[in-house]
Amino acid sequence: MRRGVCFSFLFFILQVDSTAYKFIQYQTAQRANNTISISSDTRYEVLKSLCDSLSDCVAFDTSGALLNSSSYISTTEWITSICDAGHPTTERLAIAKEKQVIYNGLVRSYIHRHGDVTVTVSPNIFDDLSFSSKVLTRAVKRYKRLIFSHTIFEEETSIFKSQPSDVQTINIICPSQNETLGPGMDESYSLTITESSIRIKAENVFAIMHALETLSQMITYNFDTSTYDIANAPWKIEDDPDFEHRGILIDTSRHFQPVSILKKLIESLSYAKFNVLHWHVVDANSFPMEVKSYPKLWQGAYRREERYTQAEISHLVNYARDHGIRVMVEFDNPAHTYAWGIGYPDILPEGWQEAENCPNTCPNLDCDVPMDPVNPLSKQRQIVSGVIREATTLFPENLLHLGGDEVPLGCWNKSSTILQHTIQYNKTLQDLYLEFVQASQRVAVDQGRTPVNWEEVYVNFGTLLDPRVIVHVWLSLDTVRRAAQDGYRVIVSNGWWYLDHWDNDFERYYRNELLYNVTEELRGKVIGGEVCMWGERMDSSQMLRLIWPKAAGAAERLWNYNEAEGQWALEKALPRLRRFRCLLIDRGISADAVYSWANPAHPSACMDT
């Protein structure tokens, strides 16, 4: 989990054998008289070869047009993607407007069919909906306000009360209104829009939320007619995710994140159809969480004001559930635990300050002292077990992350107790590491939880681990295949999905190969992935805009894996990325510029930066 940092803006450049063609982007179209010819074969390699063969061809586009000029005229529509020979790299990226209009968000649904009629819809169609599930009731109320954002609601009475609407009814069919959220649940839904009605069907409350999110991104406000419109009706959408685990890791140890910011993060996750918040709540740097059975632990917080009470934690978990987000908490052990030792110093090994090959400059970002694995006086096992047991009363999520990574065994070399133990029981320090990991896993399993460990635990110990363990890969995609072959389920968070790697551009988030070298029969072992927002170099003022909009590329990859594999896939995704950034900003979520912070060339700033 250690990361190098640099920064670059997003520029995607294609290098080819002879002429270098670069994708560029304008909110413009090419002049009609610039078209030399149009090829029916729109494969990149074919168009590139044709353009190379023509002396006056300097560019081609995704519609197959071969062009003799790269000058354009202004238009308000995104028309096509241009691949231009020798165009300056400082220009913008290519973009392709889809001929089939799709809803605004980046995470694409599977669309069975659609039509060409625009219908109007009124806020009042939501008024008579009633459900036994309070979670679903709150979700419908929330989406009514998100969808009809230009309407002023007073005591749930809309100023559009008397305005006619083409769509007269919305019918939400949810056979099970059970509010239990967990891994492996059915997230599929169907959304049907006719010229007079909307019908949503799903097996559970949380899949209904996905449908409402899709619907919310299809309805737009028409400022000319003061109506809310759905274009290209009728619609028939059948949708479900390719991966069950679609998450973002947030680190509140390196920099504390206020509850208000975490709630905004939870809201934004639901907009991209993520379903897991991986909460790396404690680390070597601070222990900000209240643990009532060991009340001195949060003495390791940076300051008294930067702590999470159990009441706040319960509130966040319930808030996340209301948005369809599972909260998987992580207590990394036996390493990354210096902050645990602020309140209980005996938990750390004797002589760690003088040990060689031990990252013992504490406290700082490189501090990484592991717990003492054997000293009975430290009661370290009781403390870890107590934290895990208490956490299961606060976090109902079945998956419990136990870390286990980056254990510097050299920190144990100065402890006479540890060395005597290895001699007496004929054990190595590696053996003690394994025993500690296995003990934590047993506690989690005894509490009805599924343990998750970072990649190093599997790399070091392989099939000695409990077969129920989930391996969280961050170092090498080769481990995904090997762990799956050994029967373990896998979560992927390799370097291309590290949000604090500023050089990772959108293409990496969008095209990351979770299933690299994984055979078809083993793909079911890869349950999903996470993008990681490690906290060393950011605080609450930056967090959301560093996550968004790039994390949306991973959201689409996890929802519809093959979407990123097709021809012109990246260029087709870029307009969705731009629209999704606008959506986030409209909903009060900070999102960084897609291209640059230069003054926009056109009035729509969120679309043009």
The span from the CA of 355 to the CA of 360, in Å, is 8
Residue 96 lies in a domain: no
Q: 276 and 197 in one domain?
A: no
pLDDT of 406 strictly over 80 = yes
In three-state secondary structure terms, 230 is: strand
DSSP state of 576: H
More confident residue, 358 or 459: 459
Q: 340 and 203 in one domain?
A: no
Residue 374 lies in a domain: yes
- Contact in structure between 244 and 183 (CB atoms under 8 Å): yes
Q: 167 and 255 in one domain?
A: no
Q: What is the CATH number of the domain that holds 227?
A: 3.30.379.10
Residue 41: the pLDDT is 84
The span from the CA of 97 to the CA of 154, in Å, is 38
Residue 251 lies in a domain: yes
- Contact in structure between 297 and 388 (CB atoms under 8 Å): no
Residue 108: the pLDDT is 61
The span from the CA of 26 to the CA of 28, in Å, is 5
Q: 167 and 292 in one domain?
A: no
Tens-digit pLDDT profile for residues 118-160? 999 999 999 889 999 999 999 999 999 999 999 876 555 555 5
Of the residues 214, 239, 264, the one at which a domain ends: 239
pLDDT of 338 strictly over 50 = yes
Residue 603: the pLDDT is 52
DSSP state of 498: B
- Contact in structure between 215 and 147 (CB atoms under 8 Å): yes
Q: Which position among 406, 435, 513, 536 bears the catalytic label? A: 406
Tens-digit pLDDT profile for residues 26-73? 433 455 577 888 888 877 778 888 888 888 888 777 678 888 875 544
Percent of the chain having pLDDT more than 70? 83
Q: 279 and 234 in one domain?
A: no
Task: Please tell me the number of Cα atoms within 13 Å of 33 on its side-chain side.
Answer: 0
Q: 281 and 182 in one domain?
A: no
Closest C-alpha to 556, from 536, 585, 590, 579: 579
Q: 267 and 123 in one domain?
A: no
For 158: left if phi > 0, alpha if psi spans -120 to 50, otherwise beta; the answer is beta
Closest C-alpha to 261, from 548, 588, 540, 586: 540
Of the residues 239, 259, 286, the one at which a domain ends: 239
Q: 407 and 385 in one domain?
A: yes
Q: 179 and 251 in one domain?
A: no
Of the residues 561, 576, 600, the one at which a domain ends: 561
- How many helices, marked H, and strands, marked E, lie in the chain? 16, 23
Residue 35: the pLDDT is 84
Q: Provide the 10 A C-beta neighbour count for residue 114.
A: 18
pLDDT of 107 strictly over 70 = no
Residue 46: the pLDDT is 84
- Contact in structure between 414 and 351 (CB atoms under 8 Å): yes
Q: Give the range of the structural domain holding residue 226, as residue numbers without chain letter.
A: 111-239
Measured over the CA atoms of residue 603, residue 606, residue 607 and residue 608, the dihedral's sign is positive
- The domain total for the chain is 2
Tens-digit pLDDT profile for residues 60-89? 776 788 888 755 443 333 334 555 665 433
Residue 45 lies in a domain: no
Enumerate the H helices of 231-361 as residue ranges: 259-271, 310-322, 340-343
Q: 229 and 270 in one domain?
A: no
Q: What is the CATH number of the domain that holds 379?
A: 3.20.20.80
DSSP string, 86-144: T--TTS-------SS---SSSSPPPEEEEEEEEEEE-GGGGTT---S-HHHHHHHHHHH
The span from the CA of 526 to the CA of 547, in Å, is 23
Residue spans of beta strands (DSSP E) within 362-477: 399-401, 450-454, 470-473
List beta partners, residue 148: none
Q: 485 and 380 in one domain?
A: yes
For residue 199, report the phi and psi dihedrals to the nearest 5 degrees: -130, 125
Residue 420 lies in a domain: yes
Pairing of the two strands 111-121 and 35-38: unpaired
Q: 524 and 382 in one domain?
A: yes
The span from the CA of 90 to the CA of 564, in Å, is 25
pLDDT of 187 strictly over 90 = yes
Residue 26: the pLDDT is 40
Residue 74 lies in a domain: no
* 82: enclosing H helix or E strand: strand 82-85
Per the annotation, the verdict on 513 as an active-site residue is no
* 496: enclosing H helix or E strand: none
Confidence band for 355, pLDDT divided at 50, 70 and 90: confident
Residues 6+ apart with CB under 8 A from 94: 12, 23, 24, 25, 62, 81, 82, 83, 571, 574
- The interaxial angle of helices 310-322 and 259-271, nearest 10 deg, is 20
Ranked by mean pLDDT, the top range of 110-124, 292-306, 553-567 is: 292-306
